[in-house]
Every structure is written in structure tokens, then in C-alpha cells.
Chain A
Amino acid sequence: MTLSTKEAGMHPGQGGHVVAPGRRRRKWVRYSPWTFYLFVSPWVIGFLALTVVPLLFALLMSFTNFDGLTDTWHWVGLHNYQRALQDDLFWTSIVRTLLFTGVAVPLSIAGGLGLALLLNQRIRGVGIFRTLFYLPSVVPVVATALMFRMAFDRDLGFVNLIIEFFHGHDIFWLSDPMAFWVLIMVMLWGLGGGMVIFLAGLQGIPTELHEAAALDGANAFHKFRAITLPLLSPVLFFQMVVSMIFTLQTFIQPFLLVEGQGSASGLTDTSNVPRGNYLYMVHVAAQYFSFQRYGYGSALLWILFALILLVTLLIFRTSAFWVYYEVDRDKSA
């Protein structure tokens, strides 16, 4: 019996160059550990230079009144963080972002799961349906925002056209209070991404389980509740964490989904953004790009970082209660 390098890799701390006497390790595993470091060096160097350094740089900036232009900055200690606590827009934007995430993520996960269940059956043309539902999630963000702007425009959009057809009154979709819900719909439009992941997960569930349950007289709901849901829960969990982190950073769409005939502006003008879509990252972008408050903006970024870490930790903590892992699932990632 030979130990493959892969299996040997399961024992932490056992470098490839260490050949314990008496072990039937072949000579060919002898190579310098530097080979490994050399191969992974793009990521290690890139991670340090392009992730760790910018993050620490932001942390440093957050303790200054740097404006990005002049060199006359000085240290202000925790002033920027105290300022955040007294900033009304900070609080409203953070509450709104949490609300937005709290509505958009469960809806898109439920929708994605529902579609996956529908499309996991043996029906004709299932491939075409899957393709069509997945399609929107590959459409670039700018195109999505522009198309939703046209679809929900008060005068030009088809949504109001349908409402008029049923003799309803035109709705100002892209202004408060509806703009928030249009933004939610933009998010839901991309739920095909989750659907694909759930479909792959559903296909990993052994059919014997469902067959056995059917023999015992379980109906579709029972089977879903007792078999599908627990076995899919790791996938649901992963998707929840990822889409939550993704949704908390939303901010391009609010700038592009604006009412009226004007062209979409850059990130310097937040006056067009409806209050309902003034999300946390919109507030951050405004600090950097409209007010040149680099110090304050950086403090806000670090608060977001801490917030995301906190929420992720919370979800991981609760996962023990509702995520089902098979006992023998300890194969590394």
C-alpha cells in the first residue's frame, strides 16, 4: 500500500521534505518546501499587497482628517468613529441596509430554492427553463440597472402600462417609497445564481431516501421537510452567508436607478438617489467622492468590515442549530 501525497497532506505540519524513517514514503516526495511556496506566491504576495495593505491603510486613514489631496492632514484619534455615532445619515443608512438585506436575502433564497425544486423534476424542456432563469444573473450590473430603469420608468415603462391596463393609477416606481422595492426586485432578478447552486445540491441527494420515504407513505411536503431540507442545509447556509455579504455592499444600483430624464451620474452626486435607496455604501461613496472626507469614509468602511464580521460570526454560531452535516463529512473542503 502506498501513501499518496494527497493523503499525506491530511496530516498537518508534515512537510513534503520530511521523510519519517520506517514510513513507506517514496523517494519522489522529496522536494524542497519552497516549491510549494513558489507556486502559491502569487496569492500570498497579492493578498498582502492588494488586500492587507489597503485594509491597514484604510485603518490608518480612519484616524486622520486626510482629504485625499493635500498633505496637511493630522491625526484625529477616534474622532471619525465618534462622528459616525452622531451622524444621522450613518444610522438611517445602516438600518436601511440591514432592512434591505433582511428582505432581499431570504426572498432570493426562497425564490431560488423554489425554482430549483420546480426544475429538479423530470419535465420536458427543463434545460431551457433553467437557462432562462439563470440568464439574468450573468447580465452585467450596469445593464441590469439601466433595463430596470426603463422598465419601471413612470411614463416609458411597461410596469405602469400593465397597471394602466387594469385601470390603476401610475406609480412613481423610482421615487420614494417604491424605489426601495424596485431595488429589491433588481436583487431578486439575479436569483438564478442561487438556483443553480441549489439544483447541484439537490442532485447530490440520493434518490433512495425519497423512494424509501414514499414507501413509508410520506407525502411531498414530508419528504421536503425531513429529507430535502436537512440534506440541503449546508448549501443553503453557504448561499445565505455569501448573498448576505454580497447584498450588504450594494451601492451601484441606487446611483443608476434614478427617476427622470437626466443621464445617470457618477458617484459624486447623491442628490438623485431616493432616500429609500440611500444604503450604507452610498453614504460611504459620498464621503469619499463628493466630500473628500477620506478619513471619515475609511472609518465607515472599517465599521462595515466589523459589522460584516459580526453578522457572519452570528450566522456561523446559529448554524449548529439548523445546518445538518453528515457525520463522515470530514473530508477537507
Chain B
Amino acid sequence: MIQQHAASRVTARQRKEVLSRGLIYLSLLILVLVFIAPLLWDGLMALKSQPELTAFPVHVLPEHPEWQNFVLALTYINYGHYALNSFILATLHSVLVTMTSALVGFGFARLQARGKNVLFLVMLSTMMLPAILTVIPTYVIFARIGLINTYWPWVLWGLASTPYLSFLFRQFFSSIPTELEEAAIMDGCSYWRIFWQIFLPLSKPVIATAAILSFTAVWGDFFTPLIFLSGDNTTLSVALANGYADVNGHLLTNVLAAGTIFYIIPVLVLFFFAQRSFVQGIATAGLKG
């Protein structure tokens, strides 16, 4: 009797569980749809012809997919050229900033000197400094010394390392056992060689994370190339926002939609292959800052 009672209670709880699970799935599905809608709509727009775009009532699905828009997106502006600019700039910056941030992170993780703690605190607090405050004054200074419309600013920013990536490296290097470096020092290894031959080879995942995060940051940046670069030297992000207009200044929305897809594909591909890196990068700063 008692057992029976217990059994019916369990099934009641199970039923409740199934119901709440169903509700969770339903709300998640609706939310996902809402979140993905702008991306889906962009894809649909990219497949519409110009008359279909402005048809009334609006066609949700394109009746005759206009694949030509994707060709037009690549040819209407010099897409390959701007994409190459973005790629060169992002790679240049990413390689430099990853290397210098690794150096700084190693210093803070493994070496001692007077003033280290103060320096580290200063570095952490500059993570909070809005980038926008320095970009425009930097532009004014660089304009005076002739660095505008060159890639030098990105080289300099790369050489300067970033507090955020340095912190990421510092966290990782701190977790490596000291025995490794003790042994190396016994063998007469310099700190430079310890860094280069022991720590760097061990930190491939962090290197990948830093490289990917800094690459996508430059690839997606709009404001800096907009004010620092002009004409043919600018990046895809700027060309994309300004390029797809006809002679009357009217926006070619469908071609722009196609161009936008090409623009975000590299980021999405990187994201799907390196999800861990993105998540690790963002979570490290969030949890241990």
C-alpha cells in the first residue's frame, strides 16, 4: 500500500518534469528563432531580385533565387582587394599582439621585481579604460606625424600588447608547474629561452585563443579603419558599409545583404572551429578579473 502510494507520487513528479522540460524546449526554440532571425532575413534578402525586394505584398521567400547577387557583391566593389586589406591588417596585428602579450604575460606570471604588483594593478585597471577615449587623440597625433593611411598604427598597437590578452597569458603561465623552469635553470637556461622553448610550446591553446580573438577584433573593427585609412587602403568593414549604392546613392540592399554574408563567413567559420577559444577568452576575463 505504502509502496504503491510512493510509486504514484514518483510518476506524478515525472509527469511534472516532462511538462517543464517541454516548456523549456519550447521557450528555447522560440528564443533561438528570434535570435537567428536577422541572420536568416539577411540570407533571404540576398536571394531576392531588385523588383522582388520592393514587391507588395512582401515576398517572404524569394520566388526565383537571384544567385547573381552574390557575384555582384564581389564585383560591385573591389571586394577581393578590401578583403585582402582586412586580412593583412588583422593578421599583422594578431601575430604581433599575440607575441608581445605572451611576453608581458610571462613577465607577470613568472618573474619578480620591485613595483610588479603596482604595475599589474595598473594594467588590470586599464582594461576598464574605454578605447574610444584614446583613438581620436591618437588619430590627431598620428595625422601630425604622417602615419595616417598607413598600416603603421596597427603595427604599433600590436607591439604595445593588450592588457586583456596579457592577462589571459598570465593566467595560463601561472598554472604551469615551477619544476619545469627550475630544471631548466639548473641546466643554465636563460629566462628568454625558458619562455621561448618551454612555455610557448606548452601554450599553443592560449596562443590560438589570443590570435583568434585579436584577428576577429581587427576584422570586425569599423571605427579605426574609418578614420585612419582612406580610399583603396581601407578595410572590408568600411567598404561594405559605404560601397553598395547606385549612381543616385540608393542602397542596393540585396547585394549588400550578399556582401554581408561573405564578410561574416570567416568569423563564423573561425567561431565554429574554435568555439572553445572564444569561450575561454571571454570566460577567463569574466571570472578571474
Contact = CB atoms under 8 A, between A and B. Distances in A.
Contacts of A199: 283
A71 B197 CA distance: 52
Interface residues of B, number: 106
A129 B32 contact: yes
B163 to A, nearest CB: 7
Given A54-B138, A158-B41, A263 B244 contact: yes
B267 A139 contact: yes
Contact of A16 (B111, B156, B249, B278): B111
B44 to A, nearest CB: 8
Task: Sort chain A's interface into a size bin.
Answer: 35 or more
Given A33-B112, A189-B35, A142 B240 contact: yes
Interface in B155-196: 156-157, 159-161, 163, 166, 174, 178, 181-182, 185-186, 191, 195
A188 B113 CA distance: 44
A39 B245 CA distance: 49
Chain B interface SS verdict (over half): helix
Contacts of A265: 242
A42 to B, nearest CB: 4
Interface stretch (B1-9, B62-70, B117-125, B203-211): B117-125
Given A4-B178, A262-B245, A263-B245, A136 B35 contact: yes
Contacts of A310: none
Chain A interface SS verdict (over half): helix
A147 interface: yes
Given A54-B134, A150-B42, A39 B251 contact: no
Contacts of A15: 112-114
Nearest to A13: B114
B230 to A, nearest CB: 10
A36 B27 contact: no
Nearest to B136: A288
Given A6-B174, A54-B138, A200-B287, A33 B113 contact: yes
12 contacts: A8-B112, A26-B182, A28-B185, A40-B103, A42-B159, A47-B123, A55-B134, A136-B35, A150-B38, A150-B256, A161-B58, A261-B250
Top 3 A-B pairs, shortest CB-CB distance? A46-B160, A140-B220, A39-B107
